[in-house]
Amino acid sequence: MTSYDAIVIGAGHNGLAAATRLAKGGRRVLVLEAANEPGGAMRGREFSPGFRSAGLAHLVNRLDSEVARDLGLDLAGDDRLLPTSVLDGSGRAVTLHGAYGESIDGVSTEEEAAFAAMRKKLVFQAGLLKRFLRRPPPQIGAISLGDLSTFAATGFSLIRKGRSEGRDFLRMLLMNVADVSDEYLTDDCLKGLLAFDATLGIHLGPRSPTSLLGLYYRLTGDVAGRTGGQFVPKGGMASIAPAFLKAAEKAGVTIRCGAPVGRILADRGRASGVVTRDGAEITAPVIVSAIHPQTTFLHLVDPAESGTGFVRSVKNVRSHGNVAKLDLALDTIPNLEGLSADARSGRIVLVRSMEQVETAFNPAKYGEFSPDPVMEITLPSLADPPLAPSGGCTLSALVQYAPYRLKAGWEAGKPAFLKIVLETLEQHAPGIGKSIVAADLMTPVDIEAEYNLPGGHWHHGELQADQLLVNRPTGAASGYSTPIEGLYLASAGAHPGGGISGLPGWNAARHILSGARA
């Protein structure tokens, strides 16, 4: 039997962020990872001979600058932020440059001005919410001085903007993104983009109440202080997991891969260590779970230790994915109609309008995939040439909507959905079908199996109002501490949620180091 000051379960980026912060705080830390290599959902894989995928994510838009600086991450990117090009299939392209449309090509001067006014308001409002991301969410009945300070600073920001801005914030906070877009914009491509960005990875359509929250969430991210920016690091997305790993190793963290945890040891409400599946017992006064909360409490912890009511609340966390991931191996770089050559290295969104996104969502409500899907595309091998053989190219697409619980079952539904997705790509890139060497479509069921993500949901739970802040993942475990003393949560299932931000792990570690109940 061996012992450490802290054991972190899971070597995804949040687990590594938590371990690094704890080690830099003087703790002796062990990370246990079930897979044979670290990285979590950023773990790359070869999906066809000579062609590799860099993982689920294909760009960065939420990496927190303070987290990166504190952990010493070496993730230098291109000074130029990636553009977003919207293609509607007509041969027209609308391209947003800078940090989420600081300038726009392909629309009228009037429409660009209207977008700028809307962007200014949304960035300000998202900034108010951002104040709550770098700290545990306020605990109802136990508001701290830090919480009061954050509330006061948020209120002062609103007061400085004037009464009308305060009213607008309260009015818009729980609105749907479609209504907000209609207030400002007339261009269908821009409306479609906002609809897509607000609902990507979330079981909502643009006209669903509270769907604007998804766009706020995106706009709380920043790249080099530029809100809404996005980039691919030098060396491509495959360089992110190694950067987190290097930071952890430099801080003195011990990492063991191929070491799945079979059980978290707890007695009379107090965690004391773990037992790996091969029977090894390792003790520590602090256990940090950087895997899905449902896996933690439904499979690794004795339900008697956390209580029937708490277990029930964890079971009820909505965590069914709605997005499929497509990786294509191509023998040449595709030519998408309307897209300039220099925009091919950016982000490409295939969407015609707000209505298309809403209509695409409707079947998912009844367990069916969209017959007219919307998707986000990148060409990863342009930034990371080793992902494809010389002359070849990889294409990565996030496609929605693809419900986890498909009525017909994904064994039968997967070939049919893949056919629809490839036909959609053919409409935008005529001839692409002839250049396909291999196609690998991961449904939410496949994502669940490949990355141990219950429900195939990369956020470890819906990003909706009832599963955010004081309710993430549930009220009794919203501040990283759990009903079991010494056991903490640090995955995307904890505050503030998913995306490559590092915040859940970093926040959890700082919470522990601050003298939290342990």
Distance, CA of 129 to chain centre: 17
- Provide, rounded to the nearest whole percent, the portion of the chain with pLDDT above 90: 82
pLDDT for 147 equals 55
Task: Specify which residues 328 forms β-bridges with.
Answer: 395, 439
Q: Is pLDDT above 90 for 161?
A: no
For residue 147, count CB atoms less than 10 angstroms from its CB and return exposed for 0-12, middle for 13-18, buried for 19 or more.
middle
**Cα dist. 176→14, 165, 204, 213, 374 in Å?**
30, 18, 10, 8, 19
Beta bridge partners of 226: 223
| 258-284: average pLDDT | 96
Tokens read off for 393: 């190219």
pLDDT of residue 169: 82
pLDDT at residue number 144 = 61
Cα-only R_g, the chain: 22
Q: Residue 142's pLDDT is what?
A: 58
What residues does each domain of the chain span?
A: 2-44+63-75+237-318+456-513
- Average pLDDT, stretch 48-65? 93
Distances (CA, A) of 78 to 44, 223, 229: 21, 11, 12
pLDDT in tens, 470-479: 899 999 998 8
DSSP-derived 3-state class of residue 263: strand
Work out the pLDDT band at 131, boundaries 50, 70, 90.
confident
**What is the pTM for the complete model shown?**
0.94
Is a pLDDT exceeding 60 seen at residue 110?
yes
User: Is residue 298 within 8 Å of 311, Cβ to Cβ?
Assistant: yes
Q: Which helix (H) or strand (E) holds 438?
A: strand 436-442
As assigned by CATH, the class of the 2-44+63-75+237-318+456-513 domain is alpha beta
Residue 151 has pLDDT above 70, yes or no: no
Q: Sign of torsion, CA 513 256 244 501?
A: negative
pLDDT digits (tens, 9 = 90+) for 60-76: 998 998 999 999 987 76
What pLDDT was estimated at residue 79? 54
Tens digits of residue pLDDT in 219-249: 988 776 788 899 999 889 999 999 999 999 9
Evaluate whether 371 touches 399 at the Cβ level (below 8 Å).
no
- Residue 483: the pLDDT is 95
Residue 149 predicted with pLDDT over 80: no
Rounded to the nearest 5°, which phi and psi values hold at 421?
Answer: -65, -45
303 has a pLDDT exceeding 60: yes
When pLDDT is cut at 50, 70 and 90, the band that residue 517 belongs to is: very low
Q: Which amino acid is at 182?
A: D
SS (H, E, C) 448-517: HHHHCCHHHCCCCCCCCHHHCHHHCCCHHHCCCECCCECEEECCCCCCCCCCCCCHHHHHHHHHHHCCCC
Report the C-alpha dihedral over residues 387, 390, 395, 396, rounded to 10 degrees.
0
pLDDT at 82 over 50: yes
- For residue 17, pLDDT over 90 is answered with yes
User: Amino acid identity of 397?
Assistant: A
The mean of the pLDDT values for the chain is 92
**Residue 384 and residue 54 in contact, taking contact as beta carbons nearer than 8 Å:** yes
Helix, coil or strand: residue 105: strand
The pLDDT of residue 143 = 58
**Burial (CB count within 10 angstroms: exposed 0-12, middle 13-18, buried 19+), residue 409:** exposed
Q: Look up residue 488 and give its two tokens.
A: 């903490």
Question: Nearest-5° angle of CA 394, CA 49, CA 201?
Answer: 45
* Phi and psi at residue 304, to the nearest 5°: -65, -25
**DSSP at 60:** B
Please identify which residue in the block is written with the tokens 């509330």: 151
pLDDT band at residue 96 using 50, 70 and 90 as cut-offs: very high
